[in-house]
Structure 1
Amino acid sequence: MEKTMGSAALTKPSVQLPRVVLSVWLLLVCCSLTAFGMESHIVYLGRRHESIHPDVVVASHHNMLASVLGSTAAAKDALLYSYKHGFNGFAARLSSAHISAVSQIPGVISVFPNKRNNLLTTRSWEFLGLEKANENKVFESSLWKKSNFGRDIIIGSLDTGVWPESESYSDDLIGTIPRRWKGSCIPGTAFNATNCNRKLIGARYYIKGYEAENHHLNLTALGDFLSPRDSSGHGTHTSSTAAGSFVQGANLFGLGNGTAKGGAPLSRIAVYKVCWPRDSKGGECYDSDILAAIDQGIHDGVDVFTLSLGSSPPLPEFFEDGIAIGAFHAVQKGIVVVCAGGNDGPTPATVANTSPWIITVAASSIDRIFASSVVLGNNKTYVGQSLSEHRLKNKIYDLVLSEDVGAATANKTSSKLCFSDSLDPKKVKGKIIVCQRGITPRAAKGNVVKLAGGSGMVLYNAPSQGDEIFPDAHLLPATHVNAKDGSDIVAYVKSKSKPVAYISPVTTVKGSKPAPVMASFSSQGPNSLTPDLLKPDITAPGLDILAAYSEVSSPTGLPADNRVVHFNVESGTSMACPHVAGIAALLKAHHPDWSPAAIKSALMTTGTHLDNRRKEILNGSFQTAGPFNYGAGHIDPNKATDPGLVYDATTEDYDYFLCALKYNQSSYKSITGREVHCPKSASSISNMNYPSITVSNLVGTQTIKRTVTNVGAGNTTYNVSIKMPRGISVSVHPPQMHFLFKGESKSFVVKLQASRTASGRYTFGHITWRDGRHTVRSPIVVRPISTGSR
C-alpha cells in the first residue's frame, strides 16, 4: 500500500479541473480528512486466516468502515492501509464517534492512535570472536564459517531507508536471488528499481501514517526523498551493520580503518522505509507505517526483521502497539524480530519493546577507542576521545575556560556550556577553549568555539556525567574527557597565570580494557509493562560503531557541516540491534529448524556477564552492571551456535502469556487464530518458558516451571549450579537431567523463598546447567516483599 510516485507519474492522466470546481473539491477532501477531529488510528483484528484471500480481507475493511462512515467511497477515502498478509487490521482517519462505533463491532480487538516511535563495523565482529585479529581469517569454530556467512537469509530492515550506492550493498559475492522472495524495488524520488541488486533485493517506503499526522512531506525543507532513499544515514548504518558486504579500507577520516562488514555478510537485505523527519533533529516512525511494512515483509519472505526504533514509557499495552502486534504475527510465521531497547538510560524502567516474542537489545562498548589527549603545560596528559580530522598546527596554545571568555550578552552558564553566541571572539581567537558538556549537542559546542575563532576545544563532563566519554567528528581539533580529568584541567587553568595546552591528533586504539562496558544511555529494566519478564534480553556492541552512511548527511548532522562521508561512527541501541539481527541470521542459516524462541534462547543462555578482564561487566558509571542493564549478558555468537539446551516457546507458551494478560476468550481466538483455553487458576507471567526468571513481587514462596530442549548430542547429563540472589533461597528439582537423544525435552522447577527480612529491593542471581561441554545460564531477578510490608 505504499506510494509509488515515480511510476504513478508516468501513467496518471492529465485532467484540468475548472478553478472553482477544483477549489470546492479540495475543500471537500480537506474537510473529509481533517474536520470533526479526524485522526489516524489503527483497528487491529487479529490473525488473518490463510484460507481468506487478501482481496477479501481488504473488502471486509471497506465494508466495516462503510458501516460506520456511511458509504464505501467515504471508507476508501479514510483508509490509509489494509493489513492483509501477516495479520488482519487497517489504519484509517477516524473521529472519536467513529472510534467508539468501530470498537463495538464484533471481532475488533483494539483501536488505538497512530503512535509515533523514535529512532533510537571494522572492529565489532572481531571483538565478538567471528574473525581472527591478526590472521584475518575465520575461526574454524566461528559461526561465520558454520553458517556460510548467513548466505541467502533475508533481513528486513525497518528504518530511514538506504543509500544503495554504498559499497556495503555490493552483490559481487552474491548469487541469484532466492526464488521464494516475493518483494519489489519501488521507485520514487532519486531512486529507481535498478538501485536494487542481488544484495539489496527489496526497497519499499511507507508514509501515509506519517502524513496523516504531519501533512505532506516537505522535501525542500526537510531534505528527504519520497522514496526508499535514505537522507539521514541511520537506516543505511543499521542495515549495513546487520548484513553489509565486505568493504576493504572502510574508515572515517582515516580512523577505524579496516574491512567493514555486516554480521551476516552473505545475507540479503530488504529495506522498508518507515521513518521520516519531523525536523532537522530527528525522525519519526508511525505505527500504521510500521505495521504496513511488517505485513508486507511477511508476505515478501523476510526471515529476520531488525527495528532500531521504539517508544518511551509509558508503554502502550502489547496489542495497542504497532511494533508488538507486527512482531507477534511475524514470530507466528517463524520470523525472528530484533528491536532496540531504547536510549533513555540510565533511568530505571525505561526499556522499550518489551514483548516476550521480541529480542530486545541493550548497547555496550567494544575494545576500540579513538584517543586524543590533552597535554597541559605542567606536562600532565589526559586521554580523551574524538573523531576530529583536524590537527593543531603548533604544540602550545593558550588554554581558557569558556565562562571566562563569555560574550557581554551571555550569562556564565550559557558561556560555560558553550551555547550559540555565548563566546566573545576577541577573547577566544587562537586559543583552546574548555567547555562543559550538557544541553546542546557535543559537536555543536565545538562549532560555537570555531565560529568565535577558537583553535581547539576540550569538552569535559560535569560530575554527574561521570566517566563515559564519546568521540565526535568535530569541526575543529577537539577532544572529550571525563569528569575527573575535566576537574583537573579546570583546576590547572584556575591555578596558572598563563595556562597552556595541546590537543594531540586522534589515533585508533584497539584492545582497550575494560570492554564491554554498558552505555549509560542504554535503557534499563525493570520492564515497566510486565515486570515479571526481564528486559532487555541481551546486550551487543552499540558504542562507536563504524558502518555505511548516506552521502547527503554529514557526520555530525550540524547545518554547518557539509562534509560527505561513505562511513560514519554512530552510537545507540540502534547500532546494537542490527548486530543481534545479523547474528540471528547466521543462526537461522546454520539451524533452519530452530524457532525464533530457540534462537533467542541460544543467544541469551550463552551470553557472558564478564568483560575482557574476566571481571563483572561495568555500567556507564563504571560500577558493576546487572541484568537490568544487559539482560542475560553480552552476546557470544560462537557459543550461541551450540548452546546445548534451549528454552523453546510453543504456541501454548504464548497462549499462557496472553492468559496472564487477561484478554477475553474471543480476543484470544482472534489474535491467535485458534481456541485458547486458559487455566482456571490465575496465570503468572513468571511461568512463561523464558530463558530468564523474574518475580517482581515475591511473598513467601513461589515455584517456577521451565522446560528445556536438548539441541546438542544425545546421552548427556546436565547438572545445575545456583548463585542465589541475596535474601532468597533457591532450589532446583531435579538437580540433574539426563538426555538420551537430541530433541528431547525435560522440565524442572525452581523454588524461590524469600527471607523474613526481605528488603523490597530487586536482587539478582542465576542458575546454570552444565554437561562438561555446554554452559546454559539463566539470570534470576527477584524482588522479595516481606510479609509485614504487604
Structure 2
Amino acid sequence: ELKAIKNTHGLVAAYPDRNVTLDTTHTSEFVSLDSSSGLWHASNFGENVIVGVIDTENSKQMERDLACEKVQDFNTSMCNLKLIGARYFNKGVIAANSKVKISMNSARDTSRHGTHTSSTVAGNYVSGASLAMLKVIFYEDVLAGMDQAIADGVDVISISMVFDGVPLYEDPKAIASFAEMKKGVVVSSSAGNEGPDLGTLHNGIPRLLTAAASTIDRTFGTLILGNGQTIIGWTLFPANALVENLPLIYNRIIPACNSVKLLSKVATKGIIVCDSEPDPNLMFKQMRLVNKTSLLGAVFTYNSPLLNEIGSVSSPTIVISAKDTPPVIKYAKSHNKKLTATIKFQQTFVGIKPTPAVNFNSSRGPSPSYHVVLKPGIMAPGSNVLAAYVPTEPTATIDTNVMFSSGYKLLSGTSMACPHASGVAALLKAAHPQWSAAAIRSALVTTASPLDNTQNPIRDYGYPSQYASPLAIGAGQMDPNTALDPGLIYDATPQDYVNLLCALNTHKKQILTITRSTSYNCAKQSFDLNYPSFIAFYSNKTRPIVHKFRRTVTNVGSGTATYRAKVTQPKGSVVIVSPERLAFRYKNEKLSYDVVIKYSKYNKENISFEDLVWIEDGGEHSVRSSILVAPSGIV
C-alpha cells in the first residue's frame, strides 16, 4: 500500500501505525471555582465554548448539531445541548489489522476512560460549554479526530492519551496541535503516569498545556475507639456495614496479618489491628489476606503520606496514618476489659492538610523530546476524581464475588488532571475569546500556586521528604480565578515554534510534516521560546555555565502599569534580570526583558529551583515564572 501511494501528490511522509497509551464533584470547590465571583461567573460558565474530547468514547446521553452519527447503539437523540457532537474514527485500526474485532462501531464507550474524562471537562457545573466527543485509538485515527475537531469549530481540545517513544514528526498530537494552535484552539494533554522518575513525561510538546496530577483535600471513613477518640482514615468499602462496638484485637500472634491460617482463627472475634509495614506492597498483601479470611473488620497502618492513593477496598477495613497509630495500639494494649472500636463507612471529610501534593505516579519532566521547555506546565486535581462512568461496568466489589455498578466512579491519574485543566482553559476562552492558545496557557502557568493549603511548598509524594520541583508540578497547582486576570501574558507565534524545531536540528521534511505548510523558515532558529518559565542545564559542575534568555510580555491589565522584578536565586546560581522595571503605557503593549542564569556550583543537590516574579506597583498582579537549574544527565 505504501508503494502505491508513495508518489501521490500531497504526500509529505508516511509512518507505521501505533497504539496509544491512556493516562487515567469536589474538585471544583478545591480549586475555588465555586466562589460567588471569579472565572465561573466571568465566563458565564463557559458559554458558547465547544470542548472537543479526543478519547475512547462517551457512554452518556448527554441543538447545535456538529455531527451525531447514527451508528451501533447510538442515535442522534442521544445528543443535546451539552453533547452536541459525537463521531468515531476507526479506519486506522482497521487498516493496521483488517481482521480486528471492534466491540462498538460508534461513539459509545466500552472502555470507560472517555466517559470519565468528558464528564469532568464540561459537566453540568460548566453549564454554558458544549462537548464534541471524538472516539479514537490508533495513530491515524487520532490525527483524523483532531483535524476533524478543527473543522467542527471546537475552541479547546482535551486529550488524555499519548504515543510512547514516538519522535515529534510522527506524533499525531504534535502534527495536529500545530494546526490547532494557528486557529487559536487550546490543546490540553496529560503528563503521563510513569512517575516518579525524572524524564518520564510524555506530552512535552511546547504548544500543549501539559497537566500533572495532584491530590485533593478529601478522605473517607473514621475509626472510633471505645474511649471516644476518633481517627479520620481512608476506606472506600462500598456498603454501610455494621462494624460497631466490636472487640479491638492486637496481640503478638497475628499483628503481621500475613497468615490466612492465623487470621482465620480470629475472623469472627472482632476488629484486628495489623502492624505497619515499611513497604506499601506488603500492606496491600495484608489487605488481600484479610479479604480472603472475611474478617469482621481490620485496621491497617500506612507509613506514608499516600493515604488517599490506596484506592478501593473490598472488605470492611480502614487504613490510618502511621502518626495516628500509637494511640490505637496504646488503647488496644490497655487493661480495660471492654476494648472496642467502630469503623464508620460512607463518610466524607474535606479540608484535609496538607494538600495538594503531586501524585506518586504523575510523570516528571524534563520532556525527552523538548527538554529546553519546562514541562509539565501546571498541576491539576488527579487523585480519586469522581466523574461519570459506564453504568454497566462494576465500580466496586465486596469480597471477590459481589459487584456493584454505578454511573460514577473515583479514578486517579493524569488523565483525570487533564480535563480539569481543559475545563478551566475553556472557561478562560469564554471570558477572553480574543486570547491566543499561548496566552491562555501563559495565564494558567504564571498564576499557578507552588504552595499547599498549609502555605508551605507543595510536597512530592514520589519523594515524601522533598518539596516538589517544577519537573513534577510545573508552575504549581492551577488557580482558575487568578488566571482570569493575570496582568501579563507570554504569547508565541507559529514561527516561534518553528524556530525551536529548527534549533533542535529537525529536518526540513520533518518540519513540513508537522506544519503542513511551506510558509515557515529556519532563518531565526532559537531554543529560546517565549515561554513563561526558564530551564538551564549544566554539563560540567566544576566550570561556570551561563544561559541567556529573552522574553516578551504583553500587558493585558486595565491600562497603565509598572512592574518590578523580584528574583529568588536558585542555590548555586546567580540570576540577573534586565531591565528590572517594566513600565507599560497602555493595554496590550509589549515589552521585553533579558534573563541571565550563571551557574557556578552547588554541592548539596543536583537540581535547584526558585522563581522570578514581576510584581505590579500597588500589588494588584504578580506574574510568576519558575526557574530550574539541573544537570544535563537527567534528560
Same fold, judged at TM 0.5 (above): yes
CA distance in 2, matches of 1:198, 1:370: 35
Cα gap change, 1:475 to 1:537, in 2 (>3 Å): same
Corresponding residue of 1:633: 476
Report which structure shows greater RCO (CA 8 Å, sep ≥6). 2
Q: Given the alignment, which residue of 172, 175, 187 partners 2:70?
A: 187
Question: Any unmatched runs of 5+ in structure 1?
Answer: 1-64, 70-74, 76-101, 133-137, 170-175, 246-260, 275-284, 406-411
**Secondary structure at 2:295 match in 1:** coil
Contact 2:318 2:343 in 1 (8 A): yes
Q: Does 1:383 align with 2:232?
A: yes
CA distance in 1, matches of 2:313, 2:443: 40
Q: Does 1:131 align with 2:10?
A: no
Cα gap change, 1:675 to 1:163, in 2 (>3 Å): closer
Deviations 1:85-137 (CA, angstroms, capped at 9, x unpaired): xxxxxxxxxxxxxxxxx59999634624413322332x2212222224xxxxx
Deviations 1:270-290 (CA, angstroms, capped at 9, x unpaired): 11222xxxxxxxxxx432322
CA distance in 1, matches of 2:147, 2:34: 36
Q: TM-score, normalised by structure 1?
A: 0.71
Aligned partner letter, 1:482: S
Corresponding residue of 2:587: 742
Q: What does residue range 13-412 of structure 1 map to in structure 2 within 5 Å?
A: 65=1, 68-69=3-4, 108-109=12-13, 111-121=15-25, 123-132=26-35, 138-139=36-37, 142-165=38-61, 169=62, 176-177=63-64, 183-210=66-93, 225-245=104-124, 261=125, 264-274=126-136, 285-311=137-163, 315-373=165-223, 375=225, 382-388=231-237, 389-397=239-247, 399=249, 404=254
Contact 1:430 1:453 in 2 (8 A): no
Contact 1:769 1:777 in 2 (8 A): yes
Cα gap change, 1:398 to 1:759, in 2 (>3 Å): closer
Aligned partner letter, 2:191: G
CA distance in 2, matches of 1:766, 1:777: 7
Contact 1:317 1:529 in 2 (8 A): yes
Q: Does 1:536 align with 2:376?
A: yes
Q: Which is higher, the Rg of structure 1 or of structure 2? A: 1
Corresponding residue of 1:82: none
> How much does 1:514 deviate?
1.9
CA distance in 2, matches of 1:456, 1:210: 48
Corresponding residue of 1:676: 520
CA distance in 2, matches of 1:112, 1:379: 64
Deviations 1:5-49 (CA, angstroms, capped at 9, x unpaired): xxxxxxxxxxxxxxxxxxxxxxxxxxxxxxxxxxxxxxxxxxxxx
> How much does 1:468 deviate?
3.5
Question: Any unmatched runs of 5+ in structure 2?
Answer: none
**Secondary structure at 2:68 match in 1:** coil
Contact 2:243 2:343 in 1 (8 A): no
Deviations 1:243-284 (CA, angstroms, capped at 9, x unpaired): 111xxxxxxxxxxxxxxx3xx33200111222xxxxxxxxxx
CA distance in 2, matches of 1:580, 1:619: 20
**Secondary structure at 2:140 match in 1:** helix
Q: TM-score, normalised by structure 2?
A: 0.87
Corresponding residue of 2:557: 712
Aligned partner letter, 1:745: K
Contact 1:399 1:501 in 2 (8 A): no
> How much does 1:216 deviate?
5.6
Cα gap change, 1:709 to 1:550, in 2 (>3 Å): same
Aligned partner letter, 1:605: T
Aligned partner letter, 1:184: A
**Secondary structure at 2:149 match in 1:** helix
Contact 1:242 1:582 in 2 (8 A): yes
Contact 2:561 2:584 in 1 (8 A): yes
Aligned partner letter, 2:420: H
Q: Whose helix fraction is larger, Structure 1's or Structure 2's?
A: 1
Deviations 1:152-171 (CA, angstroms, capped at 9, x unpaired): 21111122322224xxx3xx
> How much does 1:403 deviate?
9.7
Q: What does residue range 540-689 of structure 1 map to in structure 2 within 5 Å?
A: 540-556=380-396, 560-620=401-461, 621=464, 623-672=466-515, 673-679=517-523, 683-685=525-527, 687-689=528-530
Corresponding residue of 1:50: none
CA distance in 2, matches of 1:374, 1:697: 54
Aligned partner letter, 1:238: T
Aligned partner letter, 1:193: T
Q: Does 1:725 align with 2:573?
A: no
**Secondary structure at 1:396 match in 2:** strand
CA distance in 2, matches of 1:695, 1:191: 51
CA distance in 2, matches of 1:352, 1:492: 48
Cα gap change, 1:709 to 1:103, in 2 (>3 Å): farther
Cα gap change, 1:489 to 1:674, in 2 (>3 Å): farther
Identity %: 36
Aligned partner letter, 2:570: P
Corresponding residue of 1:779: 626
CA distance in 2, matches of 1:382, 1:622: 24
Number of residue equivalences: 618
Contact 1:200 1:268 in 2 (8 A): yes
Contact 1:205 1:272 in 2 (8 A): yes
Aligned partner letter, 1:163: S
Aligned partner letter, 1:297: A
Deviations 1:369-424 (CA, angstroms, capped at 9, x unpaired): 2232264x78776431122233234311454799949xxxxxx9xx73x9xx8987
Contact 2:195 2:361 in 1 (8 A): yes
Cα gap change, 1:735 to 1:393, in 2 (>3 Å): closer
CA distance in 2, matches of 1:231, 1:448: 32
CA distance in 2, matches of 1:482, 1:760: 30
* Runs (4+) off by over 6 Å: 103-106, 377-380, 400-403, 421-424, 486-500
Q: Given the alignment, which residue of 428, 444, 452 partners 2:267?
A: 428
> How much does 1:232 deviate?
4.0
Cα gap change, 1:750 to 1:422, in 2 (>3 Å): farther
**Secondary structure at 2:174 match in 1:** helix
Aligned partner letter, 2:520: V
CA distance in 1, matches of 2:281, 2:94: 30
CA distance in 2, matches of 1:533, 1:159: 26
Cα gap change, 1:459 to 1:185, in 2 (>3 Å): farther
CA distance in 2, matches of 1:363, 1:216: 37
Contact 1:540 1:634 in 2 (8 A): yes
Q: What does residue range 759-770 of structure 1 map to in structure 2 within 5 Å?
A: 761-770=606-615
Corresponding residue of 1:281: none
Contact 2:24 2:113 in 1 (8 A): no
